[in-house]
C-alpha cells in the first residue's frame, strides 16, 4: 500500500534511459523501465539523436508504469537527470538540427585549448566557472560547431544540454539548473549566472539558452497535454528543473546534508567519476568545480575510460569481465577513447611490461588496475583541492562509496580495495541517478528538500567492506608508466 503518491525519476545516460517509479513516502522503487540509446561515431566522434532520448524516455516510463501496478493518477511529479555536457542545437520548432555532440566526443579538444588561451590560461577560467575547458565541456563543443558547421550554428534557435532538452519536452519550458549548467563553461559558479564575457568569447547569444532555476528541485512547469499523452501520465503534474547525472547521483546518496567531504564517491560507469559534496566553492586545476543540484558544490574528476573500456579489452582477450588476476609486471592504461583526466584527448591504450609468462588474465587485471589507478589519483587531487591531505590517516579512513555498474563487479570492487587501501561502502540502492531525480521530483511536488528526502529513503546506505592493505607496488608501477606516457603526449 502506498504511503504517499509516487514520483518518477529519469536517468537519461549515454547508453540508455532508466526510469524509476518510486513511492514518495518510503523511497521504495516500485518498478524500473529501461530503453537503449544508439551512439554513433569513431575516432573521437560520439553522437546521438536527441529524439531517440525522448523515445527512450517514453518507452522506459510506459514499461515501468505497466509493471509497477501504479495508476497514472498516483504520479505526483517527474524530473530528469541527464548525461552532462552534450550539445543539443534546436530549430525554432524545437527539433534537433543535427545529432547531439556527446560529452565523450573529443573532436573539440583543439577548441578547448584555444579557449583556455583566449582567456589567459586555466586560472582565469577557474576563477569564473570553477572549471577549465576540456574537450568534454559544452563551450568547446559549441566552438567546434561554429568552426566546422557554421551554417548549423547560425540556424540554431536554441542551445540545450541533454537534460534541458527532455525537461522542455515535458513542460514546454526552457529551463536548466545550476548543477548541469556548471558543466558548460559559460555559467559562472562565482556569480550563479551565465557569464556575459564568456558568452561573447564563444559567440553565443544568451537568448538561445534556458533560464536557470534556483535548484534542480524547483518546479519549472507542468506536464503538457502532449507529453502526458505520449508518456501515459495525467497532464498538469509538476516538472522539476532536473539536473546532470552526477548531481542526481549525489542527491540519491544523500550528499550535501553536512557539506563535508565525509562521503567521497567513486562511480564506475561508461566513464569513471569521483566526487564529493562541499559548501566551499571549488576551483582547482584538473577538476570540474561543479555546482550541485541543492545549493552546495560538487567538485568532480572524470575519466573517459572505465567499464566500457575494460569490457572491450576482456572481449579482445576472449575472457569474461571477472576472469582476471593482478597484472604483475604488466601495466595497461586503457585509454581507448583518449582521456579527460589526465587531459590527453589524443591518447590511445598503452600496454607495457609483457613477459613470456604473462597470461591473458593478468593483462585484463592490468587493465582494471590502470582504470582504477587513474580514478584514485583524481580522488587524491580532489582531497588536495579542498584542503585535505589525501595521505593523512583521518582522510584515508573515510570510506569510499562505490556506485555504478562496476560496483556490482567483483573484480572492480577488489581492485579498488587493493589499490586504495580504504574501506568501501556498497550502497543498497540501485539506479541512484534515477532515484536522485525522483527526490528532485518530490521537491517539485511538495517543496521538500531533495537531499533530506533521499537521506530518509536510505538509498545511500549499504554493505561495508573493511580496508585491505594497499598494494603500493602496483600503485607505483602504474604511476610511473602513466607519468612517462604523459611526457610523450600533447595535452589539450
Residues classed as catalytic: 245
Q: Which residues pair with 338 in a beta bridge?
A: 336
Q: Where are the beta strands (DSSP E) in 241-308?
A: 243-244, 265-268, 272-275, 288-291, 297-303
DSSP state of 410: H
Stretch (H or E) spanning 176: strand 175-176
Greatest extent of the chain over all pairs of C-alpha atoms, in Å: 67
β-pairing, 243-244 vs 75-82, is parallel
Distance of CA 73 to the CA centre of its chain: 32
How far is it, in rounded angstroms, from Cα 35 to Cα 57? 7
Angle at 22 between CA 17 and CA 27, to 5 degrees: 125
CB 431 within 8 A of CB 242: no
For residue 57, the number of C-alpha atoms closer than 13 Å in the C-beta half-sphere is 29
List the end-to-end C-alpha distance of the chain, in Å, as a whole number.
55
For residue 338, the number of C-alpha atoms closer than 13 Å in the C-beta half-sphere is 23
Burial of 402 (0-12, 13-18, 19+ CB in 10 A): buried
β-pairing, 350-352 vs 331-333, is antiparallel
Which residue, chain included where needed, has cell 604523459?
486
Q: Which three cell numbers stand for residue 125?
A: 577560467
Amino acid at each position: 500500500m502506498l504511503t504517499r503518491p509516487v514520483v518518477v525519476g529519469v536517468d537519461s545516460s549515454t547508453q540508455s534511459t532508466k526510469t524509476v517509479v518510486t513511492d514518495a513516502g518510503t523511497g521504495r522503487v516500485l518498478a524500473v523501465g529501461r530503453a537503449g540509446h544508439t551512439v554513433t561515431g569513431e575516432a573521437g566522434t560520439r553522437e546521438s539523436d536527441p529524439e531517440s532520448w525522448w523515445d527512450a524516455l517514453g518507452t522506459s516510463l510506459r514499461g515501468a508504469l505497466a509493471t509497477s501496478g501504479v495508476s497514472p493518477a498516483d504520479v505526483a511529479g517527474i524530473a530528469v537527470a541527464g548525461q552532462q555536457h552534450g550539445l543539443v542545437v534546436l530549430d525554432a520548432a524545437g527539433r534537433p538540427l543535427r545529432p547531439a555532440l556527446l560529452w565523450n566526443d573529443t573532436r573539440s579538444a583543439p577548441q578547448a585549448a584555444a579557449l583556455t588561451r583566449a582567456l589567459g590560461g586555466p586560472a582565469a577560467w577557474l576563477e569564473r566557472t570553477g572549471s577549465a575547458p576540456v574537450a568534454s565541456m559544452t563551450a568547446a563543443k559549441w566552438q567546434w560547431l561554429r568552426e566546422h558547421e557554421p551554417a548549423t550554428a547560425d540556424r540554431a534557435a536554441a542551445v540545450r544540454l541533454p537534460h534541458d532538452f527532455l525537461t522542455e519536452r515535458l513542460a514546454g519550458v526552457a529551463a536548466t539548473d545550476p548543477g548541469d549548467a556548471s558543466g558548460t563553461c559559460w555559467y559562472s559558479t562565482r556569480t550563479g549566472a551565465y557569464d556575459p564575457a564568456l558568452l561573447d568569447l564563444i559567440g553565443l547569444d544568451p537568448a538561445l539558452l534556458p533560464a536557470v532555476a534556483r535548484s534542480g528541485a524547483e518546479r519549472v512547469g507542468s506536464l503538457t497535454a502532449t507529453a502526458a499523452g505520449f508518456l501515459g501520465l495525467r497532464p498538469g503534474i509538476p516538472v522539476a528543473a532536473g539536473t546532470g547525472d552526477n548531481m542526481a547521483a549525489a542527491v540519491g546518496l544523500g550528499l550535501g546534508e553536512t557539506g563535508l567531504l565525509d562521503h567521497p564517491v567513486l562511480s564506475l560507469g561508461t566513464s569513471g567519476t569521483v566526487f564529493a559534496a562541499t559548501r566551499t566553492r571549488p576551483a582547482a586545476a584538473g577538476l570540474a568545480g561543479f555546482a550541485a543540484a541543492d545549493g552546495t558544490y560538487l567538485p568532480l574528476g572524470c575519466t573517459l575510460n572505465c567499464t566500457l573500456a575494460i569490457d572491450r579489452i576482456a572481449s579482445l582477450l576472449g575472457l569474461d569481465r571477472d576472469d582476471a588476476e593482478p597484472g604483475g609486471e604488466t601495466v595497461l592504461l586503457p585509454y581507448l577513447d583518449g582521456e579527460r583526466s589526465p587531459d590527453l584527448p589524443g591518447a590511445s591504450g598503452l600496454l607495457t611490461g609483457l613477459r613470456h609468462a604473462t597470461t591473458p588474465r593478468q593483462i585484463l587485471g592490468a587493465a582494471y588496475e590502470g582504470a582504477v589507478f587513474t580514478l584514485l589519483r583524481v580522488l587524491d587531487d580532489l582531497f588536495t583541492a579542498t584542503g585535505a591531505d589525501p595521505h593523512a590517516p583521518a582522510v584515508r579512513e573515510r570510506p569510499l562509496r562505490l556506485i555504478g555498474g562496476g560496483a556490482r563487479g567483483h573484480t572492480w570492487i577488489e581492485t579498488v580495495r587493493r589499490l586504495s587501501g580504504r574501506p568501501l561502502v556498497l550502497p543498497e540502492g540501485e539506479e541512484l541517478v534515477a532515484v536522485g531525480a525522483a527526490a528532485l521530483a518530490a521537491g517539485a511536488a511538495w517543496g521538500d528538500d531533495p537531499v533530506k528526502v533521499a537521506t530518509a529513503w536510505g538509498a545511500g546506505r549499504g554493505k561495508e567492506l573493511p580496508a585491505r592493505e594497499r598494494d603500493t607496488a602496483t600503485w607505483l608501477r602504474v604511476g610511473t608508466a602513466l607519468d612517462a606516457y604523459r611526457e610523450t603526449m600533447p595535452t589539450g
